[in-house]
């Protein structure tokens, strides 16, 4: 009952055009982080490819076929999403890694599993590639957990971008809670506080939009006042984390000022909830993070907080005055009051 990492050296085979932020060098960061944890005695396994049946729980058959047809050639799927000849196979491995992570944790062979994957997944819609993403890795994982019998699955997404795909795939489903903290307004344009889910899923989408420039203290406030209380009340059977590191202060895409230790603190907060609600069952999957050094250091901190004897959450104090977190909490209170006590 410990932590397992799921990683493949093949993730570098998904190639993007020169200058693209989601570049194969990100896979070298994942390789180096995996190698370091292996040397510390952490178990690491290679993923299997996701099956068609697993993908079709969250993607349209036509869409899966379209992506499969990119095999062997380079294509552009949207203004910033590309495939190389191997991308379909690699995207299957990324989604499959998340399925493997769920199987380990739901099968109780491991308490937590971290999928060190690329390409990322949270922008991928049911029938549309977007924002560097081909298949929605965490959505595939959540659907697999439900198919394995998980009554309720919570997804927390701290990537700097809103996970439009994940939100839309589950927005009418009360069994899958989606909580996203993200820079707003920003790409992809979704993720306003008012987006709370629809039909039976009303209240089970919780967006925490933060103004550009948010610091560690803003994130801490959002976690303590919104994210953790909602998770405790939802009582998930499994917690899945869309772990993007592009809210880092050095990230070239994001405009936030989150420091490396805060990514450890966020992960520790989530581990604490998983320990309380679901015997520690937590699956994390890498999303964005485009400064290679920041990605390496922040991912390392995040993994550290899921290892055996990790300390509880200790937030760094930013020392920068910011009221962004307070403003967001105040905005969310009346919107979430019908559904959650916060």
By the criterion CB under 5 A, which residues form the site for Zn ion? 159, 161, 244, 246, 288
CB closer to Zn ion, 142 vs 256: 256
Q: Which of 59, 110, 122, 123 is catalytic?
A: 123
250 is catalytic: no
Measured at CB, which residue is nearest to Zn ion?
288
**In sequence order, what E strands does the chain have?**
3-7, 43-45, 75-78, 81-83, 112-116, 153-157, 176-183, 205-210, 238-243, 282-286
| H helices present in 148-246, as ranges | 164-170, 216-222, 228-234
Least separation in angstroms between residue 282's CB and Zn ion is 20
| Tokens 């969250």 found at | 58
| Residue 212 tokens, joined | 């550009």
Beta pairing, strands 81-83 & 75-78: antiparallel
CB of 244 to Zn ion, least distance (A): 5
Q: Which is nearer to Zn ion, 47 or 244 (CB)?
A: 244
3-state secondary structure at position 2 = coil
CB of 248 to Zn ion, least distance (A): 11
The whole-angstrom separation of Cα 204 and Cα 340 is: 10
Minimum gap (Å) between residue 159 Cβ and Zn ion: 4
Exposure pattern of 221-254 as b/e (b: 16+ CB <10 Å)?
Answer: bbbebbbbbbbeebebbbbbbbbbbbbbbbbebb
Q: Cβ 161 to Zn ion, closest distance in Å? A: 4
Q: Measured from the CB atom, is 125 or 159 closer to Zn ion?
A: 159
Q: Which residue lies nearer to Zn ion by CB, 54 or 242? A: 242
Nearer to Zn ion, 167 or 237 (CB): 167
Minimum Å gap between C-beta 288 and Zn ion is 3
CB 197 → Zn ion: shortest distance, Å? 22
Q: What DSSP string runs through 34-54?
A: HHHHHHTT-EEEPPPPPPHHH
**Distances from the Cα of 318 to the Cαs of 6, 18, 117, 258, 311, in angstroms?**
32, 35, 30, 8, 20
- Determine contact, residues 242/157, Cβ cutoff 8 Å: yes
Cis peptide bond N-terminal to 26, omega within 30: no
Residue 49 · residue 93 · CB < 8 Å: yes
Closer residue to Zn ion, CB minimum distance, 104 or 161: 161
- If the CB atoms of residues 110 and 248 are measured against Zn ion, the closer one turns out to be 248
Q: How many residues does the chain have?
A: 342
What would the two tokens of residue 203 be? Answer: 């209240």
Helix (H) or strand (E) holding 309: none
Active site residues: 123
């Amino acid at each position: 009952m410990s932590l397992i990492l799921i990683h493949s050296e093949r993730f570098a085979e998904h190639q993007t055009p020169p200058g693209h932020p989601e570049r194969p060098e990100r896979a070298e960061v994942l390789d180096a982080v995996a190698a370091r944890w292996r040397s510390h005695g952490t178990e690491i396994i290679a993923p299997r490819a996701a099956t068609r049946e697993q993908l079709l729980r969250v993607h349209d058959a036509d869409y899966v076929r379209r992506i499969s047809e990119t095999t062997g050639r380079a294509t552009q799927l949207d203004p910033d999403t590309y495939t190389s000849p191997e991308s379909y196979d690699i995207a299957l491995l990324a989604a499959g890694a998340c399925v493997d992570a769920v199987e380990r944790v739901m099968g109780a062979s491991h308490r937590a599993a971290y999928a060190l994957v690329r390409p990322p997944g949270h922008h991928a819609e049911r029938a549309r590639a977007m924002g560097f993403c081909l298949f929605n890795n965490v959505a595939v994982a959540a659907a697999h957990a439900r198919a394995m019998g998980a009554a309720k699955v919570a997804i927390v997404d701290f990537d700097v971008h809103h996970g439009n795909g994940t939100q839309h795939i589950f927005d009418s489903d009360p069994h899958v809670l989606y909580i996203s903290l993200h820079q707003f307004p920003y790409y992809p344009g979704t993720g306003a506080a008012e987006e709370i889910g629809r039909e039976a899923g009303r209240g089970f989408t919780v967006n925490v939009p933060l103004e550009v420039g948010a610091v560690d203290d803003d994130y801490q406030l959002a976690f303590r006042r919104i994210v953790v209380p909602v998770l405790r009340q939802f009582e998930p059977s499994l917690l899945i984390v869309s772990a993007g590191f592009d809210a880092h202060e050095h990230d070239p895409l994001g405009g936030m000022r989150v420091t490396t230790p805060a990514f450890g603190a966020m992960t520790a907060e989530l581990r604490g909830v998983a320990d309380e609600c679901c015997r520690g069952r937590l699956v994390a999957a890498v999303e964005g993070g485009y400064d290679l050094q920041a990605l390496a250091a922040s991912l390392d901190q995040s993994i550290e907080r899921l290892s055996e004897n990790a300390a509880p959450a200790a937030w760094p104090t930013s020392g920068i005055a910011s009221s962004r977190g307070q403003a967001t909490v105040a905005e969310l209170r009346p919107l979430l009051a019908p559904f959650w006590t916060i």
